[in-house]
Amino acid sequence: MLTAHLNSLATSLFSFLMTLALVLSFVMLGSHWLRNHVLAFAAESWVIAALSASVAYYGHYKELYVIAGLTALFRGALLPYLLLRLVNRLKIDREFTPLFRPASGMVVGAVLILIAFALSSSIGDKLGITNNITLMALTAMFGLNLIGFLLMVVRSEAISHILGLLVIENGIFLGSQILVPGLPILLELVILFDLLIIVMTFGILVRYLKVHAGTTSSRDLQKLVG
Amino acid sequence: MLIVMEILWAIPILAILMSLLGSNRVRNEYVNLSSSAAVFVTALVLLVFSPNKPQSHVSGYILISPFGNWVTLCTGAVYLLASIYSTGYMRILNITGSQAAKFYGLLEGFALTMLIVPFMNNPGLYWIAIDFTTIVSAFLVGFEREAESIEASWKYLIVVSSGLSLSLLGIVLFYWAGTFHLGPVYSMTWATLHSVAGKIPASLLLTSFLLVLVGFGTKAGLAPMHTWLPDAHSEGPAPVSAMLSGALLNTAILGIVRFMDVLDGTKASIPAHLAVIVLGVFSLSIAAMFIVRQQGIKRLMAYSSIEHMGIIAIGFGFGGVLGIAGAMYQMLNHSLNKSLLFFGAGNAMRSYGSKEIDRIRRVLSFYPVTGTLWLLGAIAITGAPPFGLFQSELAILRAGIGGRNSWAVWVIGLLLIVIFIGFMNHFRSMFFGLEPTPDGSPTMQFNGWLEVPMWLSLAAILVLGLWWPSGMLHFFTEAGKGL
C-alpha cells in the first residue's frame, strides 16, 4: 500500500494537490467563458502530473515518472491546445444557455463533493480504512466524476460536453494514481492514447456539426426524438 | 488456436491497408467482400476447433474462450451479410472513388475493433477495445453527412463515452479493492478478479458491478441508458445499422456477462443478477412503448434491438444452463434476424424515399420478393415460430420459471405480446394498408446484392429455428462453465 507509510510532508503534498484539482473544477463550474474552462482543465492536468511524479518519488514507482511526463504533455498541453483551437475556429467564446447561474452551479458542486465524501467514508468503513489520504483520493475521484457529469448536464455547448467528459476522466486518473499506483502501465498508456483519439474525434464531429447542422448547442439539436 | 485468432485480426488489417492504397470502387468492394468471407470462415474455424475450456495466451493478455468465440462468430456473420449488402447499397447511393474507399476502410476497421473485443483478458483493455469500436462506428453513423446523421453520431459518441467512463471507474474500484489481498501490483484479468472477489466486501463488489453495468449497459443499449441507440441506428447507412445492432451490442453484453461471472459465488452475485434482470425488463417495457407508437421505420428496428438486448440480459441474469444457452442462442438469432430487417428497411427507405412508416405502403404489390423476405423477417423478430428467436426466447423463459426471479417471466411474456401486436400492426399497414402511397408508386429496382443477404439470413434463422443439433446444447453447457 502506497498510503500506509508516508511521511507528513508527502501527506500534506498529496492533500494539497488533490485539493487544488478539486478547486480547479470549481473554476470550471463558476465561469461561462470556454477559454477559462480549457485553461482550468490544463492546470488540473498539470496538478495530476505533479501528483503522479510525487507518487513516483515517495512510493518508488519509477514508471509513474513516465506517466507524469505523458500526462503533462498530452492532458496538460496537447489536449488544451486542440480544444483552444476548436474554440477559436468555432468562434464560440462563452456558454450562452447554462441551466444555472455560476453561483448556483458552485453550490450544487459543493453538495456533490459532500455526497462524494459520504460515499468515500462509507466505503472506508467497510474496508476498515483509517488513512486520510486514501479517503481523500476516493472523495476527489468521485467528486470530480460528479462535477464532470454536472458540467455535462447544465451546459449545452458541445465543447462544454467534451470538457465535462475530460473532467470525469481526470477524476478517475487522479484517483487511480493514489489508490492503485501499480495499475499496469500498459493500461495507463493506452488510456492516455485513447483519450487523445476521442478528443480528436470530438473535434472533427463538432466541426461537422457546425457545418452540417449549423449549431453546436445541444439545445438546438432537437431533430431526433421518439 | 492463437494463430487462428491472429489470422482473424490480420484479415481486416490487410483489407484496410488495401483500401488506403487506391480508390477503385469495384476493387474495394471485392477486397471488403473477401475480407468478410475470410473473417466468417476463420471465426467458424475458431469456434469449432477451440478447446472447451477458456485458455489465456501472450502472458495473460489474450483469452480464447467458447463464449468469446461465439460472439466473434455473430460478428463475423453480420460482417459478411452487411458487406454483401453494402456493395449494393453503396451502388444505389452512387458512392464511388475515395468516398467508397473511405466507407469500406471504416467498415473493415469497425469489424476489426469488434473482432478484438472478445479476446481481451484484461478488463481494462476490454474497456479500451470497446471505446475504439465507438470511435470508428461514430464516423460510420455520420457517413452521410446530413444534419441528422451528424447529430446522431455526436449524441452516440458523447452518451456512450460518458457511460463508459463509469465502467472504467468500476474497474478501478474493483482493482483497488483487490490490492488489499493480492498486493499493490497484480495482473488484472477476469480470472484474478474472480479469485479475489470472495474476499472483497459485498457492498463494494456490488458498487463496482453496478458502475460497470451502467457503463457497458449504455453501450449495449439497455434502457434507460439507450438514448443514443435509436438515433444512431436510424441515421447511419442501413448496412452500418445492421453491424451496430447485430454485432456491436453483443460485444458490450459480453463485458457485463463476464463481470457477472466474476462475482459468481460471492454474496453480491444474487443482487447483481437481479440488477441485470431489472434493467432487461425495463428495456423491454421501454421498447414496447416506443414500438407501439413508432413512426420511423429504422427507429422501429432500433427499439426492437433494445428489446432483444433486454431479453439477452435477462437470459444471462436467469443464468443456469438453459438461461445461458438461450441467451447465447438469442445473440446469434438476433444478429442474423436484425440484419435481415435492417436490409429490408434500407430497401424500403431507398425505394420509397422516406423513413416514415406512413409513406411506405403496399410493399408486396411493388416488391413481391424482397417484401416477402422482409415480412417473414418481421414475423421472426417478434419471436413467432418456426424461427430461431422463438426457440431462444422460449429457452430463456423456461430458464426463469421456478427460479428466484420467476416474476420476470410473466412480465416478459406480457411485454412480448404487446411488442408482437405493435410490430405486426406497423407491418400490416405497410403491406396490406389499402390507402395509396402519398408519393406515387416506387420505381426503383433492386440489384442482387441487396436481395442475396436477405435470403441468406432468412435461411439461417429458419434452420436455427427448426433444428437444434445436440452438439449445440453441449457447446452451450461447456461455454457456460467458463464465460
Contacts of B74 (CB under 8 A, 6+ apart): B246, B247, B250, B331, B332, B335
What's the pLDDT score for residue A97?
64
Query: Which residues of chain A are within 8 Å of residue B175 when distances are taken between CB atoms?
Result: 180, 183
Q: Is residue A139 part of a domain?
A: yes
The residues that bridge with B362 in the sheet, in sequence order, are: none
What's the pLDDT score for residue A183?
80
How does residue A165 score in pLDDT terms, banded at 50, 70 and 90?
very high
The three cell numbers locating residue A9: 510532508
What's the pLDDT score for residue A218?
77
Q: Are A126 and B184 within 8 A, CB to CB?
A: no
* Structure ipTM over 0.90, yes or no: yes
What's the pLDDT score for residue A212?
82
Query: Which residues of chain B are within 8 Å of residue A206 when distances are taken between CB atoms?
Result: 154
Q: Report, as an integer, the average pLDDT of A99-114.
A: 89
- Quickly list H helices, B120-200: 123-141, 147-182, 190-197
The structural domain count of chain A equals 1
Which among B124, B131, B150 has CB closest to A205?
B150
- Burial classification of residue B227, based on how many CB atoms lie within 10 Å of its CB (0-12 exposed, 13-18 middle, 19 or more buried): middle
Q: Report, as an integer, the average pLDDT of A186-206.
A: 83
Q: Give the mutation candidate from B150, B174, B294 for the A interface (greatest A CB count, under 10 A).
A: B150
- CB of B439 closer than 8 Å to CB of B26: no
Report helix, strand or coil for B62. Answer: strand
Report helix, strand or coil for B157. Answer: helix
Q: Is residue A124 part of a domain?
A: yes
Contacts of B412 (CB under 8 A, 6+ apart): B281, B284, B311, B314, B397, B400
Note down the domain range covering A29: 2-213
- CB of B132 closer than 8 Å to CB of B157: no
Closest CA to B426 of B244, B279, B301: B301
How does residue A198 score in pLDDT terms, banded at 50, 70 and 90?
confident
Report helix, strand or coil for A92. Answer: coil
Query: Which residues of chain A are within 8 Å of residue B142 when distances are taken between CB atoms?
Result: 205, 208
Q: Is the pLDDT reported for residue B255 higher than 90?
A: yes
C-alpha angle B96-B97-B100 in degrees, rounded to nearest 5:
60
Q: Is residue A223 part of a domain?
A: no
Between CA B271 and CA B213 the distance in angstroms is: 12
Q: Tell which wins on pLDDT, A154 or B107.
A: B107
Q: Is residue A146 part of a domain?
A: yes
What's the pLDDT score for residue B331?
96
Q: Is the pLDDT reported for residue B398 higher than 90?
A: yes
Q: Are A184 and B122 within 8 A, CB to CB?
A: yes
Q: Is the pLDDT reported for residue A214 higher than 80?
A: no
Q: Give the mutation candidate from A134, A180, A185, A204 for the B interface (greatest B CB count, under 10 A).
A: A180
Cα nearest neighbour of B287 on chain A = A226
The three cell numbers locating residue A95: 456558454
What's the pLDDT score for residue B308?
96
Q: Is residue A129 part of a domain?
A: yes
Query: Which residues of chain A are within 8 Å of residue B146 when distances are taken between CB atoms?
Result: 212
Which among B131, B145, B290 has CB closest to A208?
B145
Q: Report, as an integer, the average pLDDT of A129-158.
A: 91
Q: Is the pLDDT reported for residue A54 higher than 80?
A: yes
Nearest CA-CA distance, residue B121 and chain A, Å = 12
The number of angstroms, rounded, from the C-alpha of B54 to the middle of its chain's C-alpha atoms is 22
Between CA A58 and CA A3 the distance in angstroms is: 10
Q: Are B162 and A149 within 8 A, CB to CB?
A: yes
C-alpha angle B165-B290-B228 in degrees, rounded to nearest 5:
25
Size of interface A-B (CB pairs under 8 A): 133
Which among A148, A182, A213 has CB closest to B185?
A182
Q: Report, as an integer, the average pLDDT of B33-38.
A: 96
Q: Which of A37-41, A131-135, A181-185, B180-184 has the highest mean pLDDT?
A: A37-41
Residue with cell 462453465: B481
Which among B145, B157, B294 has CB closest to A202?
B157
Between A80-84, A99-103, A129-133, B116-120, the lowest mean confidence (pLDDT) is in A99-103
Q: Is the pLDDT reported for residue B438 higher than 70?
A: no
What is the per-residue pLDDT across B288-338, written as a single tens digit (0 to 9) for each? Answer: 999 999 999 999 999 999 999 999 999 999 998 999 999 999 999 999 999
Q: Is residue A73 part of a domain?
A: yes
Q: Is residue A127 part of a domain?
A: yes
